[in-house]
Amino acid sequence: MSPAQTIQLLRDELNTHNYNYYVLDNATISDFDFDIKLKELEQLEKENPLLFDANSPTQRVGGTVTRNFKTLVHKNRMYSLDNSYSKEDLLEWEKRVEKVLGSTALEYTCELKFDGASINLTYENGQFVKAVTRGDGFQGDEVTNNIKTIRSIPLSLKSSFVHDFEMRGEIILPLDGFKKMNAERLANGEEEYRNPRNTASGSLKLQDSSEVAKRPLDCLLYQIVTSERKYKTHFESLENARQVGFKVPKSIKLVKSIDQVFDFVNYWDEQRHKLPYETDGIVIKVNDLQQQEELGYTAKAPRWAIAYKFKAAQVTTVLNEITYQVGRTGAITPVANLEPVQLAGTTVKRASLHNADQIEKLDIREKDTVFVEKGGEIIPKITGVDFTKRAIDSKPTKYTHTCPECDTMLVRTVGDAKHYCPNEFGCAPQITGRIQHYISRKAMDIDGLGGETVDLLRKEGLIQNYADLYELTVEQVIPLERMAEKSAQNMINGIEKSKEISFEKVLFALGIRFVGETVAKKLAKHFKSIDNLMAATLVALIDVDEIGDRIAQSIIDFSSDLGNIQLINRLKSYGLQLEVSAEILENQTEVLKGAVFVVSGVFYQMSRNELKKAIEDNGGKVSASISKKTNFIVAGENMGPSKLMKAQDLGIEIISEQDFIDKIS
């Protein structure tokens, strides 16, 4: 037998043993025998360097050192999930789904929601290619070398699956492994890790992959993302994924009704404490993949899935002091500084009190004993006061009237829950906060510049607003604390490169109150330039789809402020993209202006997303459900019969994929 044949035989054998042990929990070889075979393979690969394979079992032991993790854009966005906290919430979700699909014949998959670090694994032709953390959903950090050390993740698939795909999952640290790690740290006189979730997440960013290999991390998979139409349902795709080597939890269940969903929820609400890893809820998904496509996404989450969160753990502790924070928009947030208390695996010291109304509603006072829980088991919040323990001389909380940072008198407009500091250009946290928002990933995404550096630049008098960034020089930046020449050059290069960022992201980066990512895209698309937007009247702004009075007035206020006008003029002079590019404009028309479309069925010339983009690029609007306002339905194959019937009843014109292409040509 040739060395190549022997090497391949050993690789296949070791991969099978890995799968049996780490996925099936069924060891078919002793650890000693496994190590002997692994060493034999290592020696053969060393003697035959031309036969190197990045996905060989020998690569799982780690050893690669990554100084800086590359940021990569996700090919397919990793959305968040909408949360529900009651069965009434789930019933409301089902009604919304049925309305969009025009059908009550639905199947669901019920899955445990694992408490770990989300990961996106890319495979091509059956081979593992790369791993990227969730990040902000649009882009994350490449952690390929560290992920290879997790033995439950297949590096080569056992048989054919789909050619190119992404596998989504959760990196977790089982409870037994977490306890062993903490026992070792205590024995070494080191501080214990706080909880499995944060430890799993932190492990992915260790620079030395051999250190990651020592940690008992696991990976549970829950979604396949591919353009291939090999499977009709989510459940079927996961069953096949399990067969080719992926660790898909056996707890996933296919159900036929919302009542069966409730049965699943009730069962695991009791049984979850017996699981070998942490879970904080249930994920319910529409099973049919075509129906998932029809349902689509909101700006933040898929419409075809929802998370049901188990009731949060609750503890009591003493509220020592109420302090106040200033946000980038000047919004004041009261903060409860608590006597430290353990809650759901973490030490809680602070909790948001939201606003003056919330303090008054709950009658929260300093030195009260309060009930604390984690909203969605993530963010600590105060849910009430134990009045039996309140001191006799306790006095009601008087909400602050002045800014805690600059002493300016606070303002509060009618109908607004929060107080604001109006000293926009003189209040330090507002100045720093606006610049930090400007440079953030979803906005200008400036490499080499972080929040701490922004604060340092402001304190040194080098910047007072985001326009000042474009006048910084390497010579000015180098003297800063912990700033080397290379770091300074990277920062200046990152600032320069941000001049290429598209108008819609620049608009979001400006930090206009109430103008988030989605609103910025709509405004950029409608007005085409910052000049048109800032010249728009209140009526013209409200006329834009989904722009209400509050957003419109905020834009008017921003546009009429002399300081903001000067900032925009400076950004223009530096060459930022403050209008939609000619290339994008070239692909946009008003052919479909004012028309509302519903896209339904399976398409072949264009993907569903391409169809929706084409509608919007040509001035039309895409709606998720059929109504009297719908003008056209673009119908592909297998359009739902109930949708078809509703369209016919309302007299809506139904066009084919080709009809649509002809319409915009």
Q: Catalytic amino acids?
A: 113
- Contact predicate 200/149, CB 8 Å: no
User: Distances from the Cα of 407 to the Cαs of 288, 354, 403, 412, in angstroms?
Assistant: 57, 20, 5, 16
| HEC per residue, 231-286 | CCEHHHHHHHHHHCCCCCCCCCEEECCHHHHHHHHHHHHHHHHHCCCCEEEEEEEE
Q: Structure tokens of 144?
A: 């390929």
Among the listed residues 280, 287, 335, 289, the one whose alpha carbon sits nearest the alpha carbon of residue 309: 280
Helix (H) or strand (E) holding 571: helix 562-573
DSSP state of 388: G
User: Distances from the Cα of 579 to the Cαs of 262, 442, 506, 529, 535, in angstroms?
Assistant: 50, 18, 9, 4, 14
As a whole number of angstroms, the distance between CA 17 and CA 492 comes to: 51
Task: Report the length, in residues, of the chain.
Answer: 665
Pairing label, strands 305-309, 83-84 = parallel
The full DSSP string for 176-225 is HHHHHHHHHHHHTTPPPPS-HHHHHHHHTT-SBHHHHHTS--EEEEEEEE
Helices (H) and strands (E) in the chain, counts: 25, 20
Three-class secondary structure of residue 339 per DSSP: strand
CB-neighbour burial class of residue 475 (10 A; exposed 0-12, middle 13-18, buried 19+): exposed
Q: Structure tokens of 347?
A: 């030490």
User: Distances from the Cα of 112 to the Cαs of 116, 139, 220, 488, 633, in angstroms?
Assistant: 12, 25, 10, 46, 36
